[in-house]
Amino acid sequence: MKLLLDTHILLWTLFDPTRLGGSLKDSLGKPENQVFASDVSFWEISMKFALGKLSLGTAQPQELPAILLSAGFYILPIDSDLLASYHLLELPRDRHRDPFDRLLIWQAISAGMTLCTHDRTIRQHSIQGLAVLP
């Protein structure tokens, strides 16, 4: 299975794995599962870090891709085809306005991945084939 980590799950995995539920930890640890972090998350982390809304301990945002790759994770890039097809996402705008989450949802749907999130709003959307792992 291909798993795409929501930004908060990515941060918990790296900095506070005790916050991950047992089934999610098990899924992330299975060697047959490929675990991805999106370029979207790196952008979100960097923006929140710059605004002083996020602390990474001694790490810096620019170090995170290398940390993930060395841990055996994959990085899912944002490409022009994904961005150009975003209009196909039929997620009601009044329900979920976070642009980072909306793009992660579209990446997961487009790539046939399971989105790992604890965001209740996202988990309520089983739209267009979105698979979610809490």
pLDDT for the residue 78: 92
Using alpha carbons, list the distances in angstroms from residue 104 to 3, 5, 47, 48, 57.
12, 9, 16, 17, 25
Lowest-pLDDT choice from 6-15, 74-83, 84-93: 84-93
CB-based burial label for 35 (10 Å; 0-12, 13-18, 19+): buried
Give the pLDDT confidence score for residue 59 in this predicted structure: 94
- CA 129 to chain CA centroid, Å, is 17
Domain assignment of residue 101, given as a range: 2-133
Question: Mean pLDDT for the chain?
Answer: 89
Task: Give the per-residue pLDDT at 13.
Answer: 94
The β-bridge relationship of strands 74-76 and 34-38 is parallel
In sequence order, the 6+-apart residues with CB closer than 8 A to the CB of 6 are 41, 101, 104, 115, 116, 117, 118, 119, 122
| CATH number of the structural domain spanning residue 124 | 3.40.50.1010
Structural domain count, the chain: 1
Confidence of residue 90 (pLDDT cuts 50, 70, 90): low
pLDDT at 37: 97
Instruction: Give pLDDT, residue 127.
Output: 65
pLDDT digits (tens, 9 = 90+) for 94-125: 566 778 888 898 899 999 999 999 887 776 66
pLDDT of residue 89: 72
The string of pLDDT tens digits covering residues 35-50 is 999 999 999 999 999 9
